[in-house]
């Protein structure tokens, strides 16, 4: 026997029982996005590596160590499996001039790939839904994105997901802050870990969200970015806060919240749950007004968020709202010469009328077929044997209620079956 081949570490199969939760989640999310006027867009899973280097930034976890990149020797191209989709979406918006007739609200979903250490809530293939509002400069649409998330948590039955917000200002403001922050960090070099030391000069803002306690102590006494913001940045933040207050949306301002990606400006936010252990952030987002220009497009303001499906579905499990599976309306058992083909015509007529019918496949005694029918969870069994075929009928046997077995004519089977099923379910 040859050796067993297993799934790649950090990339999971989603088996049918679990997929049921995913389908419930996806249906809820997609209906919710439509209610806010967001339209679907689909980008390839593979992009030029340069796109992510430029959009996300060289000195970020993703670009430094998490990307699945390779050289396609056939075309001499450097390619990457997308680690996130905002860069692809903006690339697509520029390439197809999507903003030619005004701003757009868009959503995407699908798998993302990051070479991280797999653990609970952190995988190498994971899934996101994201919403992006392109072409809107004001805090109103930032507030819209945040408030709509809150509506989704309610709809998914998630009660304790809390909101943290911050503003990281404009690039010039950050540059001035950066210089002072570097001075502060340099003065406390000895307390910094290797990561923080490395980032000190390349991306010092990332030191702010270090998880190392000693580094956090240095950060606690660092200057605050808020003190470097000009009037316009402060007005944007005040505007956002006023709208959140008006909507009754609670939040905490976390001045250390800078997000992992370079492309943000002004508003940044995260939704966090304490029920997921270390991997508690279920959704992160913010404004990225510089990204269009950074990847070669005409400047355009933009704002959005991405949320992690694995973490949100874990919270749905935690909340215990099990999605109801659709059980078959009937399991069709057939015995005798020509009974399979006869049964198949019956099953097709019923499926066309919208019923879920599982037809027994393969051999099997009547008794073993009926056992399968029972195990399938189906409401009823439909039975085709020599007798039934001779009379051009089907036997209908309720499986979940005490009720007699009856014969039904094959003509108008959909109507007869519908009526009988409705009586059973009453």
Instruction: Give contact residues for ligand ATP (rule: CB under 6 A).
Output: 84, 114, 116, 121-123, 126, 128, 260, 279, 281-284, 306-308, 310-311
Rounded to whole angstroms, how far apart are CA atoms 259 and 139? Answer: 18
Nearer to ligand ATP, 111 or 385 (CB): 111
Rounded to whole angstroms, how far apart are CA atoms 420 and 259? Answer: 58
Angle made by CA atoms 232, 234, 240, in degrees to the nearest 5: 105
3-state secondary structure of 137: coil
Asked whether the beta carbons of 201 and 185 are under 8 A apart, the reply is no
3-state secondary structure of 235: helix
Shortest Å, Cβ 264 to ligand ATP: 10
Nearer to ligand ATP, 86 or 339 (CB): 86
Nearer to ligand ATP, 63 or 283 (CB): 283
Asked whether the beta carbons of 380 and 328 are under 8 A apart, the reply is no
Nearer to ligand ATP, 85 or 92 (CB): 85
Angstrom distances, CA of residue 194 to CA of 106, 115, 191, 226, 251: 39, 20, 10, 27, 33
Shortest Å, Cβ 362 to ligand ATP: 40
3-state secondary structure of 384: strand
Shortest Å, Cβ 251 to ligand ATP: 16
- Three-state SS for 249-289 is CCCEECCCCCCCCCCCEEEEEEEEEHHHCCCCEEEEEEECC
Shortest Å, Cβ 1 to ligand ATP: 34
Nearer to ligand ATP, 25 or 417 (CB): 25
Shortest Å, Cβ 356 to ligand ATP: 33
Nearer to ligand ATP, 204 or 343 (CB): 204
* Closest-approach residue to ligand ATP (CB): 308
Nearer to ligand ATP, 239 or 260 (CB): 260
Give which of 382, 139, 130 is closest to 237, Cα–Cα.
139
Question: How is residue 333 annotated by DSSP?
Answer: E
Nearer to ligand ATP, 305 or 379 (CB): 305
Query: What DSSP letter does each residue of 396-417 carry, written as one string?
Result: EEESSS----EEEESTTHHHHH
Show the tokens assigned to 281: 């952030």
Shortest Å, Cβ 174 to ligand ATP: 18
Nearer to ligand ATP, 263 or 396 (CB): 263
Nearer to ligand ATP, 277 or 338 (CB): 277
**Cα dihedral 197, 199, 202, 204 in deg (nearest 10):** -100
Shortest Å, Cβ 261 to ligand ATP: 6
H helices of 247-394, where?
Answer: 291-294, 309-319, 339-352, 366-375, 386-391
Shortest Å, Cβ 214 to ligand ATP: 20
Rounded to whole angstroms, how far apart are CA atoms 406 and 46? Answer: 57
Shortest Å, Cβ 159 to ligand ATP: 18
Asked whether the beta carbons of 86 and 288 are under 8 A apart, the reply is yes
Shortest Å, Cβ 158 to ligand ATP: 13
């Amino acid at each position: 026997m040859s050796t067993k081949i297993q799934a790649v570490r950090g990339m999971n199969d989603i088996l049918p029982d679990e997929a049921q939760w995913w389908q419930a989640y996806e249906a809820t999310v997609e209906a919710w996005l439509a209610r806010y006027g967001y339209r679907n867009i689909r980008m390839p899973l593979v992009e030029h590596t340069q796109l992510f280097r430029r959009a996300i930034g060289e000195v970020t976890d993703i670009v430094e160590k998490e990307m699945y990149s390779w050289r396609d020797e056939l075309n001499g191209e450097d390619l990457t499996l997308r680690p996130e989709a905002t860069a692809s979406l903006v690339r697509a918006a520029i390439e197809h001039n999507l903003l030619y007739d005004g701003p757009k609200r868009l959503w995407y979903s699908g798998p993302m790939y990051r070479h991280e250490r797999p653990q609970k809530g952190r995988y190498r293939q994971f899934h996101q839904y994201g919403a992006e509002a392109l072409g809107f400069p004001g805090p109103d649409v930032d507030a819209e994105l945040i408030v709509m998330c809150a509506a989704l948590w309610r709809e998914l039955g998630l009660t304790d997901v809390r909101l943290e917000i911050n503003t990281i200002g404009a690039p010039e403001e950050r540059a001035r802050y950066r210089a002072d922050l570097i001075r502060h960090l340099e003065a406390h070099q000895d307390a910094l870990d290797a990561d923080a030391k490395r980032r000190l000069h390349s991306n010092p803002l990332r030191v702010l969200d270090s998880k190392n306690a000693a580094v956090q102590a240095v950060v606690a006494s660092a200057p605050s970015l808020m003190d470097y913001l000009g009037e316009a940045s402060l007005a944007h933040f005040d505007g956002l806060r006023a709208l959140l207050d008006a909507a009754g949306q609670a939040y905490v301002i976390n001045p250390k919240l800078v997000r992992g990606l370079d492309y943000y400006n002004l508003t940044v936010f995260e939704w966090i749950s304490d029920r997921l252990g270390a991997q508690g952030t279920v959704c992160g987002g913010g404004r990225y007004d510089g990204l269009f220009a950074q990847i070669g497009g005409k400047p355009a303001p933009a704002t959005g968020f991405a949320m992690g499906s694995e973490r949100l579905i874990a919270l749905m499990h935690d909340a215990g709202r099990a999605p109801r599976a659709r059980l078959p309306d009937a399991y069709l058992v057939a015995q005798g010469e020509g009974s399979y083909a006869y049964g198949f015509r019956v099953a097709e007529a019923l499926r066309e009328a919208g019923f879920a019918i599982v037809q027994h496949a393969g051999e099997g005694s009547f008794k073993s077929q009926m056992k399968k029918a029972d195990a399938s969870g189906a409401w009823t069994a439909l039975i085709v044997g020599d007798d039934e075929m001779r009379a051009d009928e089907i036997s209908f046997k309720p499986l979940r209620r005490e009720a007699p077995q009856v014969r039904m004519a094959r003509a108008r089977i959909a109507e007869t079956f519908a009526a009988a099923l409705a009586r059973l379910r009453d």
